[in-house]
Amino acid sequence: MLTDYEKSCNEQLEKLRDKEDVVILAIESSCDETACAVTRGREVLSSVVASQIEIHKRYGGVVPEIASRNHVMAVSEITSQALGQAGLQAKDVDCVAVTYGAGLLGALLVGVSFAKAFAYALGKPLMAVNHIRGHIAANYIAKPDLEPPYICLIASGGHTAVVKVSGLEDITLLGSTQDDACGEAFDKVARVLGLEYPGGPEIQRLAREGKPSVHLPTPLKDSGGYDFSYSGLKTAVINYVHSKEQRGEEYSKADVACSFQEKAVGIMTDAAVRAALDNNLKTIVIAGGVASNERLREMMRLKAEKYGFNVCYPPVRLCTDNAAMIAEEAFNLIKTGAEAAPATLDASATVKITDVTAV
């Protein structure tokens, strides 16, 4: 049985469905960024991200309990800032959106509880957004005329997958990592090279000074599918570094970083290109934190020229976690007739890429 509030939310969403200028306030707190954004249709009016990277750096990775506590301290202030920068008041918002998963449970709960209360107090609908679909939706900000069908390569800290996007919410999984995510492998390799967290940007920086001279394996080389494996690649790098150090031999950290990056992004590029060719699709989109990698973008552009594809990726600030992408995904949900989140909405540490929204 729906409550009066839930019924009113679904009636409001029905009216918003064909509006192109829906004002959405979105909250994102799935990991170590507390973020709030206000969008109008595909336009980002404000996007505030309070990163906790400096706090977690000293531990070499995100400490979940510390992340949750910092979200609690930041979420209200970040929301005021986002509204202020957009030049709007809470009453101007048509709909509230929040990441309900995937991510760290305690961190997600902060955003979910805050957004539920905020939406209820305003009497406005709340959309529950799948974080991974949010990463894909960042591309609609970069390219508002982007339209499915296309192939999307998702490469983030916790996910690596190739999907076919046939409609705004019609997403099919073609392949995914069998073990570590690509971003996770970047972070672990960076750590063994003595670089700071998060490792991706550090590896990218060091790789510019190196050559791809270290031989590394190509996981799942002959599988012909779209699955990935990063655990073996990561272990090969760790073994190389440890054996050099144990034997007291000189080696170039820049060459290791360059060789790893070349292999890590090459594997993903090949899978995405194969998926586009096999599915006869002309557009490849990349999403997630690793989509900000300059070598991945370059490889994709070169393949695009070779095969006549269009390539799309968000600006760097929208590749890593932010709330503007969550608002864009909520806009997609409204357009495709999704229902408002129930008042009982809970956070979920794991969600599948195929999960449209929370039930």
Which residues 160-199 are close enough to bind ligand ATP by CB under 6 A? 183, 186-187, 198-199
Which residues face 176 on adjacent strands? 161
Using CB under 6 A, pick the residue from 22, 31, 115, 281 that binds ligand ATP.
Answer: 31
Cα distance between residue 85 and residue 87, in whole Å: 5
Secondary structure (DSSP) of 150-199: EEEEEE-SS-EEEEEEEETTEEEEEEEBSSS-HHHHHHHHHHHTTPPSSH
Using CB under 6 A, pick the residue from 125, 175, 288, 314 that binds ligand ATP.
Answer: 288
Tokens (6 digits) for 75? 């979420």
Entry field: residues in the chain: 359
Using CB under 6 A, pick the residue from 139, 156, 229, 357 that binds ligand ATP.
Answer: 156
User: What DSSP element (H or E) covers 309?
Assistant: none
Residue whose CB is less far from Mg ion, 156 or 293:
156
Note whether 204 binds ligand ATP by CB under 6 A: yes
From residue 242 to residue 281, the character string flagging contacts with ligand ATP as x (rule: CB under 6 A) and all else as - is ----------------------------------------
Using CB under 6 A, pick the residue from 125, 158, 175, 210 that binds ligand ATP.
Answer: 158
Residue whose CB is less far from ligand ATP, 311 or 340:
311
Note whether 136 binds ligand ATP by CB under 6 A: no
Which residues 318-337 are close enough to bind Mg ion by CB under 5 A? 321
CB of residue 343 vs ligand ATP: minimum separation in angstroms? 26
Phi and psi, residue 311, nearest 5°? -120, 140
Rg (CA), the chain: 21
Q: What residue 188 binds from Mg ion, ligand ATP, none (CB within 5 to 8 A, per partner kind)?
A: none
User: What DSSP element (H or E) covers 219?
Assistant: none
Identify whether the C-beta of residue 257 lies closer than 8 Å to the C-beta of residue 210. yes
Cα distance between residue 88 and residue 71, in whole Å: 23
SS3 32: coil
Identify whether the C-beta of residue 35 lies closer than 8 Å to the C-beta of residue 110. no
CB of residue 321 vs Mg ion: minimum separation in angstroms? 4
Residue whose CB is less far from ligand ATP, 125 or 288:
288
Cα distance between residue 138 and residue 315, in whole Å: 9
Note whether 259 binds Mg ion by CB under 5 A: no
CB of residue 85 vs ligand ATP: minimum separation in angstroms? 22
CB of residue 5 vs Mg ion: minimum separation in angstroms? 30
Listed residue (256, 242, 246) closest to 186, CA to CA: 256
Q: How far is CA 205 from the centre of its chain?
A: 21
Residues that bind Mg ion in the complex, under the rule CB under 5 A: 156, 321
Positions touching ligand ATP (CB under 6 A) are 30-31, 102-103, 131, 135, 156-159, 183, 186-187, 198-201, 204, 288-290, 292-293, 320-321
